[in-house]
Structure 1
Amino acid sequence: MTDSHDRPDDSEEPGLPPELEQVLRGLTGGAELDPQMVEMMRTMGLDDVDPQMLQMVAGQVQAMFAGADESGSVDVTVATDIARKTIAAEGDPSVTATVTSEAREAVDVANLWLDAVTDLDHSGLLGRAWSRAEWVEATMPVWRDLVDPIAVGVGDAMGAAMTKQLGELGEGGLPEGLVPPGTNPAAMMGQMAPMLRRMQGSMFSVQLGQAVGALAGEVLTGSEVSLPLVPAPDVVLMPQAISAFAAGLEIDEPQARLHLAVRESARTRLFHSVPWLAPQVLGAVRDYARDTTIDTDAIEEGLRSIDPTDVEAMQQALAGRLFAPQQSASQKAALSRLETLLALIEGWVDVVAAAAVAPHLPQAEALGEAIRRRRASGGPAEKTFAALVGLELRPRRLRDAANLFAALEASGGAEARDAAWAHPDVAPDAADLDDPLGYVERQRSAATGDDLDAELSALLGGDTGEGRPDGSSPDSPTAS
């Protein structure tokens, strides 16, 4: 007769409870368990765990690792679930039909006001009011795409550091009973590498979910962080956050809603009408993430004080910047591009929105200044995200960019201001933010030169056949 764990008879090698074997095989892709791993688990006493408790733990572990792959990539399902739980803890009321109608009307009015100050296309844009959960669901795939290279890099670095450290310690340097006698700890870690990568990927997914969930509680509009998280035609307002924002400033909520609708509509127009902008912004983030070099020395140092079997301690180490990336030369270049683009986006939005709302909103100036201070300081969620991926999503040079676009407008009107987005080669760069008046002068000279070329071409007939009475161009052969 077998005991409660269905242990095989004494003539066979002792195994693990079926529940535990099922979990471990699920994490290793269904492969047979290595005998050394089985013996290690038994040495740790896991074969004596109560079966009912083990089933409960197995279910939790399987749910956590479901969908995770051996590369350590972010699991969107896990991250989204954690984000939704994070926002649910703070309260996330459903959006009513009345609130939806208010958002749609605010965006319609915003577009009318913007039409008076910019010619960038807004056809088809539609106002939306989203709950925090809706924002999480819509934007999580973009977040996953942006941070996945870091998740994989952290997982690989962590596994390499653990293997190296266990190899240096050897069997005698580990707590008694942690591994079976005669087992090579480093070799055992190599066998467990797929499971560890899954574990690390899930841990990073949890951290990403917490960061995005916290950010969902702070954003006022869909793409407030200046990333194209919500594509046109949706112009998204976050009503719960807007109400709290207006109350904190002691400003009329409808005015705050209209002001934010103008800003978000302007931002959406910009991404919608300038086809190269969104790919360049997202590309800069991806380039930064792709070239991340993990601080393996910090990982190795941190692991000296962490029990490798304590998942919670490892997760806390991740959250505490143990894995702070080191910036390479290419990362610094990507970060410079990103910071410049973010500043240009928000600087343009500042100038255009200010012109659009000035004739209509009595508290427009106070709202504009409050938003600039908000972006300059960054909220707790942005700091959490920065700690996770080593990247701050703040336009540090917002005022410089706003001054540049204001100078363009003063020099050549709204047309000159918006012409800066015509092509990435003519868009301002970081050096132009240092010398906005120089950039304005160069653009004015270029425009003047183009005008002169056009007039000369018209005078000479160009390619239109107007240069000679017979309709031939000056370069065409004469009749014999």
Structure 2
Amino acid sequence: MSNDPSTPSGSPGDDGLPPEIARIFRDLNGGRDLPPQVVEQLKAMGIADADPGQVAAMTSQIKSMFTPGAMTKGVDVASATTAAREAADDEDHEMGERERGLAEQAAHVASMWLDRVTDLEAPGLTGAALSRSEWIEETMPVWASLVDPVADGLSAAIRDSFTSRLQGPDAPDLQAIGLPAGMDLSMLTQQLAPFVDTMASSLITGQTAEAVGALSSDTLTATEAGVPLLSGRVGLLPGNVAAFAEGLDVPLDEVWLHLAAREAARTRLFTAVPWIGPQILAAIQSYARGMAIDTDAIDAAVREVDPSDPSAIQEALTGGFLNPTPTAAQRAALAQLETWLALVEGWVDHVAASATADHLPHTAAMTETIRRRRATGGPAERTFSGLVGLELRPRRLRDAANLFAALEERVGASGRDGVWAHPDVAPTAADLDDVLGFVERTAADEGSGERSDLDDVLESILREADEGGSAAGGSDSSPGDR
């Protein structure tokens, strides 16, 4: 058999096989020539006499399955965006000048009202009217970053299951699935790895598109989920807002302004307090990274389908592959996430209500409506929950709103917002259990002239930085000399 690279493409080599197919099977066999009996088996399968078009199609299929350079890993953002937009286009419409003007005006008015009730600033925020498709396109990269850890876990589980099946006592007949007998299984396992990554990516990408597409039909503002999905703009989805307002006994203009005030407050908080957004994203990713894959479901899917048919495997896994039982690390991440979401939404709830109380007659009713909406969730939220195993819901929103209201009553708006200065001095889940105790401790720190927790934190940070610089610079001074 010849390995001569000068053999013209499409011409039979010494083994009588089309060079493209022979080359692929040699690569699968570690670069070694195929044994004569394997060549004869391939000829018996009709490969040597196949139509040139069929040979090209088979070559392309095998290369796409086993070429690492053609593989994708994690969520394919472009594909997920396209699929989600196609699902949303049925009831979507482009934003015109009227909608964009209303969004800009609502954001401007809401920002002026917020300036009177909070010292947190976010200069340069503008209003944006978003269609569902635009919201999907602009937020999909963030959603994908949250789901990627699940894709990694799924890839590993499928790869382990394939390896076990190919090397175990019940290993399939390689010839029956179109592969030559005597193939180096360790090499095949390595070749399967990028293929499995692509298969897991395709599965996760499709489910992410479905989840985000469903969310796009439900979300009223860009960051209503409590996740920093959009920066620098106060985004509203006019089509969804209009549908939401139809069930309320509140004028549409007032609904717009109330939602704009909430979104502007949330965007201002994410901008003025730069640590809170990354903390929320990190907690979600930590939870997703610890998501256990149902290996029994994976093994069953791999046993029951043809390993050479990726669509069949994907279909078999669509029914679910997550193990719903959280680990200890996941429970800790979930507890922290719920606290951050509650604090963000509690602050937004209280500040937005304060900002609109003197301007919008239905502020109390709208505040209660939004609270109930956030507390109960909906079908779209449950779709995303099925993807990463958690619900983006502030379960303790009322407790957090009460905490910020009590803080403002006791120490003023500046003291209320001062708890966002650093994550180490922000309220905790335990503080939500003891709102009055937290308020009294905060007031005592401010009123007694004693050092606050923030003072200690800041001094510790500065001292560590100074000591690090001294060590790097070879200074003879010690902390006790200062």
Residues of 2 paired with 1:83 and 1:438: CA distance? Answer: 47
Residues 62, 308 of structure 1: alpha-carbon distance in 2 compared, 3 angstrom cutoff: closer
Aligned length, in residue pairs: 437
Q: Percent identity?
A: 45
Change in CA separation of 1:347 and 1:160 when aligned onto 2, cut-off 3 Å = same
Aligned: 1:12 with 2:15: yes
1:77 aligns with 2:93: no
Equivalences for 1:391-470 in 2 at 5 Å? 391-450=390-449
Q: Per the alignment, do residues 180 and 246 of structure 1 end up closer, same or farther by CA in structure 2, a change over 3 Å counting? A: same
User: Per-residue CA shift, 1:373-415, capped at 9, x if unaligned?
Assistant: 2211222222111111222211111112112112212222322
Amino acid aligned to 2:352 = A
**1:146-185 matched pairs, under 5 angstroms:** 146-171=146-171, 176=176, 179-182=179-182
CA deviation vs aligned residue, 1:47-74 (integer Å, no higher than 9, x gap) = 9699499869969x979x998646x222
Matched with 1:120 is 120
CA separation in 2, counterparts of 1:438 and 1:134?
45
Shift in CA distance, 135/416, structure 1 to aligned 2, threshold 3 Å: same
In structure 2, the partner of 1:196 is 196
Q: Quick one: structure 1 residues 21 and 75, their matched pair in 2 at CA, closer, same or farther if it must change by over 3 Å?
A: farther
Counterpart of 2:102 in structure 1 is: 102
1:220: which partner in 2?
220
Distance in 1, matches of 2:187 and 2:123, equals: 61
Q: If the length of structure 1 is used for normalisation, what is the TM-score?
A: 0.79
Partner secondary structure for residue 425 of structure 2: coil
Alignment-derived partner of residue 372 in structure 1: 371
Match of 1:458 in 2: none
With over 3 angstroms needed to count, the CA separation of the structure-2 counterparts of 1:143 and 1:452, relative to structure 1, is closer
Q: Following TM superposition, by how much is the alpha carbon of 1:306 offset from its aligned partner in structure 2, in angstroms?
A: 3.8
- Are 1:134 and 2:134 an aligned pair? yes
How much has 1:442 moved relative to structure 2? 1.2
- Aligned CA distance change for structure 1 residues 162 and 171 (closer, same or farther; 3 Å): closer
> What CA deviation, in whole Å up to 9, does each residue of 1:229-282 have, x standing for no partner?
1112x1111111111111133532111111100000000111111122112112
Gaps of 5+ in 2: 1-8, 453-482
Asked if structure 1 preserves the Cα contact closer than 8 Å seen for 2:17 and 2:47, the reply is no
Looking at structure 2, the residues matched to 385 and 174 of structure 1 have their Cα atoms a distance apart, in angstroms, of 39
What is the alpha-carbon distance in structure 1 between the residues aligned to residue 64 and residue 178 of structure 2?
A: 24
State the match for 2:320 in structure 1. 321
Structure 1 stretch displaced more, 163-172 or 98-107: 163-172
Cα distance in 2 for partners of 1:389, 1:40 equals: 44
Partner deviation per Cα, 1:317-354 (whole Å, 9 max, x = no partner): 44432233653332222221111100100011111111
Moved more, 184-193 or 315-324: 184-193
Shift of 1:157: 1.3
Q: Distance in 1 between matches of 2:56 and 2:201?
A: 23
Contact 1:114-1:262 within 8 A present in 2 as well: yes
2:177/2:308 contact within 8 Å kept: no
TM-score under structure 2 length normalisation: 0.79
Question: What RMSD in Å do the two structures reach over aligned CA positions?
Answer: 3.8
Q: Cα distance 1:227–1:318, how it changes in 2: closer, same or farther (>3 A)?
A: farther
Q: What secondary structure is seen at the aligned counterpart in 2 of 1:124?
A: coil
1:359 alignment counterpart: 358
How do 1:185-334 residues align onto structure 2 when only pairs under 5 Å count?
188-232=188-232, 234-324=233-323, 327-334=326-333
* Structure 1 match to 2:341: 342
Q: How many angstroms does 1:189 deviate by?
A: 4.0
* Runs of at least 5 residues in structure 1 that lack an aligned partner in the other structure: 1-5, 454-480
Question: What is the alpha-carbon distance in structure 1 between the residues aligned to residue 193 and residue 344 of structure 2?
Answer: 43
- Worse overlay, 45-54 or 96-105: 45-54
Rate the CA distance shift 1:322–1:45 in 2: closer, same or farther, 3 A: farther
Q: Indicate conservation of the 8 Å contact 1:207/1:388, yes or no.
A: yes
Q: Kindly state the Cα deviation for residue 288 of structure 1 after the two structures are TM-superposed.
A: 2.4
Measured after TM superposition, the shift of residue 109 of structure 1 is 1.0
Shift of the 171–142 alpha-carbon distance from structure 1 to 2, 3 Å rule, reads closer
